[in-house]
Amino acid sequence: MKILVLNSGSSSIKCCIYDFANFPDKLVDPIWADKIEWKNIEKKGAIKKEIKSLLSDKKIDCIGHRIVHGGKKYRASIVIDNEVKKEIRKFADLAPLHNLADLEGIEILEQLFPNTPQIAVFDTAFHHTMPAYAAIYSGPYKWFEEGIQRFGFHGISFQYCSRRANELLEQESSRLVICHLGSGASLCAVKNGKSINTTMGFTPLEGLMMDTRCGTVDPGILLYLSKKKTLNELSKELYEESGLLGISGISSDMRDILDKVSQGNERAKLTIDIYVHRLVSMIGSMIATLGGIDALVFTGGIGENAFPIRQQVCDSLGFLGIHLSNHQSNSPEDLVLSSSDSKVKILLIHTQETFEIARECWQKMG
């Protein structure tokens, strides 16, 4: 079965084709892969042209999509029909950087491959195992009754990484804190393969400091600013002008900021200090939820490649017996990074969201 996966992220669209003869228990490389950068899409309609140029000569049996927000309704992957598309559009208000882009990809591929089934694989689905006390906000209970709750995101990545971590640890039962650190960033507390807490919430805006997203802020700030700004202005600041970019004034790219730190830039150093402070604080909350920790997992573009961030985080958590080895390189392989005397395993895992989506498609079509 040839499975095309379209993963529309906040910075790019990853396109991969997998060819499965049987259900894959281990990682399988795609037989074809390419990427479209959103920054290169200058006008409406250009994305359809880009996708068509990449895929018009491809033969595929099924198409899988990463869908960021599926709300309460979708707890598992599902074949896409008009009702599913309607729901994806409905949740676009809660994931404005993602769901509409996901929907656009679905509709373009419907035109290019009208007889090929498409599967929605939801980032929120993995977190449906969270207990009510972790999912319900402390506002009026009617919020929950109206569908306002913590959903969590990056679930496809967390699902893959939790399984891969157990392979590296050679055990099935474990308490993991997985740090998905990329343009978007969140943590997940995983116990025995199930999500029991996470840092993103009702939307992908809550939690850690991100590339241009603020993460958690005092809601009183928003009440205060709402007297001076429009909702559109506030939304733009929260989603597009905060985080690494907002604090540094330099870039939303961690590599650029670390480079400026090495040159003695004080704003860049402050940005890293805030980023690590927020990260360590929230890792602590995940550990408390789990009642301890067996392994700390780093994944995502920053988690996999920014050794200075991993080093500062692990140094800050040294009081828990978390110690890195001297291995500082950013290996293309998944690695155990903890030293022999570390009480907690430290893992570097290269997340494989497109592969995980393809596995979900196989299971759904099988």
- What is the domain partition of the chain in residue ranges? 2-140, 155-348
pTM flag (> 0.75): yes
In this chain, the answer to whether the domains covering 2-140 and 155-348 adopt an identical fold is yes
Q: What are phi and psi of 205, to 5 degrees?
A: -95, -25
Q: Which fold has domain 155-348?
A: Nucleotidyltransferase; domain 5 (3.30.420)
Task: Give residue 108's pLDDT.
Answer: 87
Task: Give residue 106's pLDDT.
Answer: 92
3-state secondary structure of 54: helix
Return the amino acid letter for 12: S
Q: Which of 19, 29, 57, 123 is catalytic?
A: 123
Contacts of 248 (CB under 8 A, 6+ apart): 257, 260, 267, 268, 270, 271
Q: How far apart are CA 361 and CA 80, in angstroms?
A: 12
- Return the closest-CA partner of residue 221 out of 233, 234, 210, 209: 234
Q: Which fold has domain 2-140?
A: Nucleotidyltransferase; domain 5 (3.30.420)
Task: Give residue 41's pLDDT.
Answer: 58
3-state secondary structure of 64: strand
Catalytic-residue membership of 123: yes
Instruction: With beta carbons less than 8 A apart as the criterion, state whether 44 and 19 touch.
Output: no
Q: How far apart are CA 219 and CA 19, in angstroms?
A: 47
Positions in the chain short of pLDDT 70: 9-11, 38-45, 97, 326-329
The H-assigned helical ranges of the chain are 46-55, 82-90, 99-112, 132-135, 141-145, 155-169, 219-225, 231-240, 243-248, 254-262, 266-290, 300-305, 307-316, 353-365
Q: What is the pLDDT of residues 77-132, one digit of tens each?
A: 999 999 999 999 988 888 776 788 888 889 989 998 999 999 999 999 999 999 99
Task: Give residue 338's pLDDT.
Answer: 95
